[in-house]
Structure 1
Amino acid sequence: MSYSVLFVCLGNICRSPMAEAVMRHRIDKEGLNGEVTVDSAGTGDWHIGRPPHEGTRDLLDRYRISYEGMKARQISVQDGGDFDLIVAMDTKNEQDIRARLGVSPRAEIIRFLSLLPERGMDDVPDPYYTGNFDEVYEMVNEGCEKLLARIRDKLPQR
C-alpha cells in the first residue's frame, strides 16, 4: 500500500512546490520512498511549465532541499481520483479545488493549516505577494512534519 499527497496553491510556483519539496525531503530521510508519493499543482494556469519561484528556489537551496524537475501544472479532475489527500494552501484554493473536483472525489481535501491549529490561522500567506518566504517555510516545514506522522500511521507497519 502506498499513500499519495497533492499540495495545491494558486499558481504552483511558491507555496505548493515548497511543500512538495520539503515533504519529498522528509520522505527520503525516513526511507519512505515508494510508500509515500507527493506532487503539487495550482488552481490557476498562469505558470504552467515554469520552475518554482526564485524565492522558493533560493530558500530550498539554503536548506539543501532538491526541487529538481519540478514544473508548475494545473490541478485536474483526474487528481481527485488519483490522490489520497489533497492539501490546499488557503481557503480560496480549497473552495476552487472542491468546485473543480465536484461532489465526491476519492481524495480527502484539507487546508494545510488545519495541521497546525495552534497557529490560529486559516491560510498560508502567499509569498508571491508578501515576499516572506521564510515565514512560509517555517509553516510548511512544521506542517509537513505533522502530516508525515499522520500518514505514517496509515501505512502498514514494517
Structure 2
Amino acid sequence: MKKYAILMCCMGNICRSPTAEGVLRAKLEAAGLADLVELDSAGTHDYHVGRAPDARSQRHALRRGYDLSALRARQVVVADFSRFDLVLAMDQANLSALHALHADAGADKLRLLMSFATQHNAEEVPDPYYGEGDGFERVLDYIEDACDGVIEMLRKRLT
C-alpha cells in the first residue's frame, strides 16, 4: 500500500517547515500512523540547501521534545507535486510560490497548514527568522495545533 505523503513548505526550509515536519512526525508516531505516512519538508527558495534547521528552531523544538537535528534543508522541485498527496505551505507567499511552480495543483493538494488548526485563528504560521525567541514559541503553538488537525484528517482518511 502506498503511503500518504505530506510535504511541509516554507521559504528557506530552516525554521517553520522543518519544525512542522518534526512536530507532525512525533504526532504520527504517537497516533500510531507513522507507518502509513511519508513526510518531508522543503523550501520554496534555495537559500539554505543542505543546512540544518536554524539553531533557535532546534532549541525551542527540543524543549517540547521534537528533535530536528537530523533534518537538512532542500528546495521544492516539480517532481514533489506528483510524489506528495498534500503540500502544506506556512504562509500565503509560499503558497503562491508553490502555485507558480505547479499551476495545475489544486486546492486538494496545496493548502495552508493553518487551515487544519482548531485552537488558533491565524491563517499563516509567521516567520520567526528575524524575530526574537517568543516568535519560535508562537510558531510551535500554531504548528502543534495545525498538526493535530492533520492527524484528525489522516485518521479519517487512513483508518
Name the TM-score, length of structure 1 as normaliser. 0.91
CA contact (8 A) 2:58 2:69 kept: no
CA contact (8 A) 2:53 2:69 kept: no
Residue in structure 1 matched with residue 35 of structure 2 by the alignment: 34
CA contact (8 A) 1:80 1:107 kept: no
Residue in structure 1 matched with residue 45 of structure 2 by the alignment: 44
Residue in structure 2 matched with residue 133 of structure 1 by the alignment: 136
Deviation at 1:105, TM superposition (A): 6.7
Alignment of 1:136-147 (within 5 A): 136-147=139-150
Deviation at 1:37, TM superposition (A): 1.6
Name the TM-score, length of structure 2 as normaliser. 0.91
Q: Secondary structure at the match of 1:128?
A: coil
Residue in structure 2 matched with residue 150 of structure 1 by the alignment: 153
Specify every segment of 5 or more residues in structure 1 that has no aligned partner in the other structure, as ranges. Answer: none
Q: Secondary structure at the match of 1:5?
A: strand
Separation (CA, whole Å) in 1 of partners of 2:25 and 2:123: 24
Q: Secondary structure at the match of 2:144?
A: helix
Instruction: Extract structure 1 runs of 4+ deviating beyond 6 A.
Output: none
CA contact (8 A) 1:89 1:111 kept: yes
Deviation at 1:28, TM superposition (A): 1.2
Aligned residues: 156
Deviation at 1:60, TM superposition (A): 1.7
Residue in structure 1 matched with residue 85 of structure 2 by the alignment: 84
Deviation at 1:102, TM superposition (A): 2.6
CA distance 1:154–1:37, shift in 2 (3 Å): same
Specify every segment of 5 or more residues in structure 2 that has no aligned partner in the other structure, as ranges. Answer: none
Deviation at 1:30, TM superposition (A): 1.9
Separation (CA, whole Å) in 2 of partners of 1:16 and 1:143: 12
Separation (CA, whole Å) in 2 of partners of 1:142 and 1:11: 22
Alignment of 1:35-114 (within 5 A): 35-104=36-105, 108-114=109-115
Corresponding letter in the other structure for 2:23: V
Separation (CA, whole Å) in 1 of partners of 2:25 and 2:92: 24
